[in-house]
Amino acid sequence: MPTSQPSPTGEAEAENTLAAIGEFGLIERLTKGRRPSAATLLGPGDDAAVLAASDGRVVASTDVLVAGVHFRLDWSSPEQIGRKAAAANLADVAAMGAVPTGLLVGLACPPDSPIETLGALTDGLWAEAQSVGAGVIGGDVVSSPTLVVSVTALGSLEGREAVTRAGARPGDTLALAGRIGWAAAGWAVLARGFRSPVAVVSAHRVPEPPYAAGPQAADAGATSMIDVSDGLLADLGHVARASGVRIDVRTAALTVPERLVDVGAALGIDPMHWLLTGGEDHALAATFPGEVPEGWTAIGTVAEGEPEVLVDGRVYDGGASGWDHFGR
């Protein structure tokens, strides 16, 4: 499983590797001409960045992506990997009810990494950050035998109270914003050696989190919220345990897209399993004490009882409830 491009053999190619230009040469190339976000008072180039925090509070989240574990360069382009790395963190900020303001990026790279590859990866990070009005404000580059991307996202609550996993209450309605199951279906397609349907594969390569739905839910009085990164059932389990409640998901409220039905039929997989347990779409799940806001879909209920997640009133018996890095 390739984690970097083959080592260059020509002199011209050798000049375009990380080993040739060094850490600071790379940083200069990756940051030159970049336009900072409105919240950035001082961007890359000094000992640390300075970011405005007018709310007086900063929301922060970090994810680490390792080549061969979280992404493959034979499955995704460097630009897509950058977008995905940014999205995973920006969605966490949105899940707290905050608006993203900046990204800090750490790159661990093999010395023979082509500058073109790292540049494209950085382009993806910037593109995804700027889609929500944020930017890359700093980071670090180190040598490593494997390509590793570490991203820290920062955000502002803009006067809102943070929406945590611990606030769900009996009687609340469970709702979802964004799509689920697509990234898992895309992974299944790629794992079988196929590259189509394009829309399904693209969902694995670059997620489409509903960033604006996070602050919207907070404004609408959401009692709890979470980014669906490891699988709907697995992540709702965190909410159930943190809130001390029982959550019941209604499959009748989950629409299986026709494209996933087709892929499931071709691969011999029930597509509902992807919706319930597939991660990396970075949808948002939240609980509301009253009416569900526009753009959100009610998919279940919250009740008293032993903290657990049920599917149509029963314990899910269709396999693992989601991704676990250290599970066996």
Per the listing, tokens 């929301």 go with 59
DSSP-derived letter for residue 160 is P
CA-CA distance, 26 to 108, in Å (whole number)? 12
CA atoms within 13 A on the CB side of 257: 15
Tell whether 50 is covered by a domain.
yes
Under the banding of pLDDT at 50, 70 and 90, the label for residue 293 is very high
* Percent of all residues in the chain with a pLDDT value above 90, rounded to a whole number: 81
Tell whether 317 is covered by a domain.
no
Find the mean pLDDT for residues 77-105. 97
SS3 assignment, position 158: coil
Terminal alpha carbon distance of the chain: 22
> What's the pLDDT tens digit per position in 168-180?
999 999 999 999 9
- Is the same domain home to 137 and 179? no
Q: Identify the pLDDT of residue 321.
A: 57
The answer to whether the annotation marks 323 as part of a ligand binding site is yes
Domain extent at residue 198:
173-311
* Percent of all residues in the chain with a pLDDT value above 70, rounded to a whole number: 90
- Is the same domain home to 77 and 183? no
The answer to whether the annotation marks 280 as part of a ligand binding site is yes
- Is the same domain home to 146 and 198? no
Residue 2 has pLDDT above 80, yes or no: no
Tell whether 320 is covered by a domain.
no
- Is the same domain home to 21 and 152? yes
CA-CA distance, 161 to 32, in Å (whole number)? 37
Residue 318 has pLDDT above 80, yes or no: no
The answer to whether the annotation marks 61 as part of a ligand binding site is yes
Contact predicate 270/278, CB 8 Å: no
Work out how many domains the chain is built from and give that number.
Answer: 2
The answer to whether the annotation marks 92 as part of a ligand binding site is yes
- Is the same domain home to 189 and 101? no
- Is the same domain home to 180 and 152? no
> What's the pLDDT tens digit per position in 147-162?
999 999 999 999 999 9
- Is the same domain home to 300 and 199? yes
CA-CA distance, 94 to 264, in Å (whole number)? 31
The answer to whether the annotation marks 229 as part of a ligand binding site is yes
Tell whether 168 is covered by a domain.
no
The answer to whether the annotation marks 230 as part of a ligand binding site is yes
> What's the pLDDT tens digit per position in 58-69?
999 999 999 999
- Is the same domain home to 152 and 23? yes
Under the banding of pLDDT at 50, 70 and 90, the label for residue 21 is confident
- Is the same domain home to 146 and 218? no
CA-CA distance, 87 to 178, in Å (whole number)? 13
DSSP-derived letter for residue 46 is B
- Specify the CATH number for the domain of residue 97: 3.30.1330.10
* Burial of residue 315 (number of CB atoms within 10 Å: 0-12, 13-18, 19+): exposed
Please say which residue of 156, 184, 207 terminates a domain: 156
Tell whether 60 is covered by a domain.
yes
Tell whether 5 is covered by a domain.
no
| H or E, element range at 102 | strand 99-109
Residue 213 neighbours by CB under 8 Å, 6+ apart: 94, 177, 178, 284, 295, 296
Tell whether 165 is covered by a domain.
no
Tell whether 131 is covered by a domain.
yes
Q: What is the mean pLDDT of the chain?
A: 91
Q: Identify the pLDDT of residue 320.
A: 66
Let me know the angle formed at the C-alpha of 276 by 270 and 279, rounded to the nearest 5 degrees.
105
- Specify the CATH number for the domain of residue 281: 3.90.650.10
- Is the same domain home to 79 and 117? yes
- Is the same domain home to 208 and 127? no
- Is the same domain home to 182 and 56? no
The answer to whether the annotation marks 227 as part of a ligand binding site is yes
